[in-house]
Structure 1
Amino acid sequence: MCILLWTTACANKGYPLILLSNRDEFLQRPTQTAGPWDKDTYGGRDLARPENDAISTCYSWTGLGTQDSDPSLDIDQVGGFSMLCGQFSRDHQNRVQIDSFGVISNRAEGQIHGKKHDIIDPTEPGTYGLSNSAFTNPWPKVLNGKRLLDELVEDIQNDRLTDREISQKGIEILTSDSVSEDEAWKDRNNRLELLKQSVFIPMFETRNLIGSSETRTTTGQDQDQALSGLYNLYGTQKQTVIIVHESGAVRYTEKTLYDWLQGTTDAANDTVDIIFDLDL
């Protein structure tokens, strides 16, 4: 139940886009640490799906292209799927701005494979969120995440925070856990439903939980179901913060909580923190 949070409300402070993401996944699902795919694309990579043997069809949960790109993906060929995509340009003062922005999804209200395109006005400052629900009908975890991100926006508006401080505060938002201390979480039968409540998902065992009819509907293709049978531990695996500055500089931070090769072992000091420029 991954979550994506982003805001365009700090453009007046020099940040046209701040984006936060949690990858919630089976902890032993093969996953490549964020890095360059080629000279134009930077991001993490899911290695579990067979088609990812070809670099041109690899899947990422969070990535950024330094130049215009045309991702080819038939959303009817995947399970529940939503993607935020957009383009940057430079204004007459050579400042980076969002040129176009939108959410492409096959999660229409109450059904999968009901195609839906939601266009977001890039000139209207706002804070948004996306998870496994329809974009226009967000789960509580998304509403909670948006509230926390709005608090960070207020801090940026009132204080002179550095990029590193913004990134650190973004990770704190992504670590917001509202289920671990909930009595209902102790009952394993409640956990799938509680995934809709919390920005951060603590590690838990999925044996005898994954595979219900509801989960099969929301997980996706048969091959994903086959892969899920290989693993039995689930939770927030990686956390990503992307900060785009009006100069064109991008700070990309990815924190790995669990390395898929080590399974349940905490990934000590496994953080990618890199700055690169958009080629616009």
Structure 2
Amino acid sequence: MCIIFFKFDPRPASKNAYRLILAANRDEVYNRPSKAADFWGTSSEILSGLDLECGREGGSWLGISKRGKLGAITNYMEGRVNPDAQGRGFLVSNYLMDKDVDSYSYLKKVSAESHLYNGFNLITAEFKAKQDIVCYYGNRGSPEPIHLKSGIYGLSNSLLDTPWKKLLQGKRHFTSVVNDQSLSCDGLVQELLTVLNNEELNAPDPTQESQGNGISKPLLQAQSAVCVRTPNYGTRTNTIILIDAEGNVTFTERNMSNCGDTGKWSTNSFQFKLQV
């Protein structure tokens, strides 16, 4: 389970505005091995965290390349999943590594193979000198990927902008933050981290619960918060990605330092300019 809020503005009105503001939580079992975000790949041009789970090594949930490609994935909440399905994290890593495929064509290819995976939502984007493109595909929704227009979006563990209470609450908070023109870059990052770490429950939520048939009520209740907390599972990574009008990227990742210890976190930030 994860949640992503993002504002896409391919032609910002001023040099101080952002082409992309993205805030995301990774929810996972606390003891699943993973690598914190760092540069990897050919010429170390890809920045992302990496899954280290046996059989899933090298997959990712969110990343960006210096060439302007961005990929992000969330699971689609289902009561029953296929334990033998292919790892969904490779859908992000493979897109970031492929220098020849554009965002929409990649999703078209993925849609033809979507039956090989459990439910997912995949965002692919390209931030280029002449044009920015963001595309979306969910394998439990429409058979065709879509191009997204400029705007503010929310994605949790249903289809894009499905009005779960947690999504609506988080999106309202996110919108108020990104519309505050007085915030510095550092101030914006801190306010977005506050959005992501809201543990307020949004239960009961009949829309979320109807999709989660087969999942225990205590777990569904815990997952009704933007920031999920249970003894063994919950939000363990916050990520903020900012791309300004000049192609400068600020990538901030906040990770749980020790397995399940919600009081200990480490934060790393990366800044670079897109090579496009």
Both structures adopt the same fold (TM-score exceeding 0.5)? yes
Q: Is the 8 A contact 2:40 2:47 kept in 1?
A: yes
Structure 2 residue aligned with 1:117: 145
For the residues of structure 2 that align with 1:139 and 1:5, how far apart are their CA atoms?
13
Q: Is the 8 A contact 1:106 1:116 kept in 2?
A: no
Displaced runs of 4 or more, over 6 A? none
Deviations 1:21-77 (A, max 9, x none): 00011011111100012222101111115142xxxxx22111101116672764332
Structure 2: segments with no counterpart, 5+ residues: 70-93, 96-105, 205-214
Q: After TM superposition, give the deviation of residue 181 of structure 1 in Å.
A: 11
Larger radius of gyration: 1
Structure 1 residue aligned with 2:47: 42
Structure 2 residue aligned with 1:135: 160
Structure 2 residue aligned with 1:236: 235
For the residues of structure 2 that align with 1:29 and 1:178, how far apart are their CA atoms?
25
Change (3 A) 1:84 1:163: same
2:200 maps to 1:178: yes
2:76 maps to 1:80: no
- Which gives a bigger RCO, structure 1 or 2 (Cα 8 Å, sep 6+)? 1
Q: Is the 8 A contact 2:23 2:240 kept in 1?
A: yes
For the residues of structure 2 that align with 1:130 and 1:14, how far apart are their CA atoms?
23
For the residues of structure 2 that align with 1:61 and 1:26, how far apart are their CA atoms?
14
Q: Which amino acid aligns with 1:30?
A: P
2:145 aligns to what SS in structure 1?
strand
For the residues of structure 1 that align with 2:174 and 2:202, how far apart are their CA atoms?
21
1:16 aligns to what SS in structure 2?
strand
2:220 maps to 1:193: yes
For the residues of structure 2 that align with 1:245 and 1:68, how far apart are their CA atoms?
12
Structure 2 residue aligned with 1:103: 136
2:122 maps to 1:89: no
Structure 2 residue aligned with 1:31: 34
For the residues of structure 1 that align with 2:161 and 2:253, how far apart are their CA atoms?
27
Q: Is the 8 A contact 1:25 1:234 kept in 2?
A: yes
Q: Is the 8 A contact 1:140 1:196 kept in 2?
A: no
Structure 1 residue aligned with 2:99: none
Structure 1 residue aligned with 2:65: 65
Identity of aligned residues (%): 27
Q: After TM superposition, give the deviation of residue 196 of structure 1 in Å.
A: 4.8
Structure 2 residue aligned with 1:22: 25
Structure 2 residue aligned with 1:164: 186
For the residues of structure 2 that align with 1:244 and 1:136, how far apart are their CA atoms?
22
Change (3 A) 1:129 1:181: closer
For the residues of structure 2 that align with 1:195 and 1:267, how far apart are their CA atoms?
18
The number of residues matched between the two structures is 222
1:115 aligns to what SS in structure 2?
coil
Q: Is the 8 A contact 1:107 1:116 kept in 2?
A: no
* TM-score of the superposed pair, with normalisation by structure 2: 0.72
Structure 2 residue aligned with 1:4: 4
Change (3 A) 1:49 1:143: farther
2:140 aligns to what SS in structure 1?
strand
Structure 2 residue aligned with 1:252: 251
1:76 aligns to what SS in structure 2?
helix
Deviations 1:212-253 (A, max 9, x none): xxxxxxxxxxxxxxxxxxxxx101011000111111111100
Q: After TM superposition, give the deviation of residue 197 of structure 1 in Å.
A: 2.5
Change (3 A) 1:254 1:68: closer
Q: Is the 8 A contact 1:19 1:241 kept in 2?
A: yes
Change (3 A) 1:11 1:267: farther
Change (3 A) 1:115 1:49: farther
Structure 1: segments with no counterpart, 5+ residues: 53-57, 92-97, 109-113, 183-187, 206-232
Q: Is the 8 A contact 2:166 2:202 kept in 1?
A: no
Change (3 A) 1:180 1:17: closer
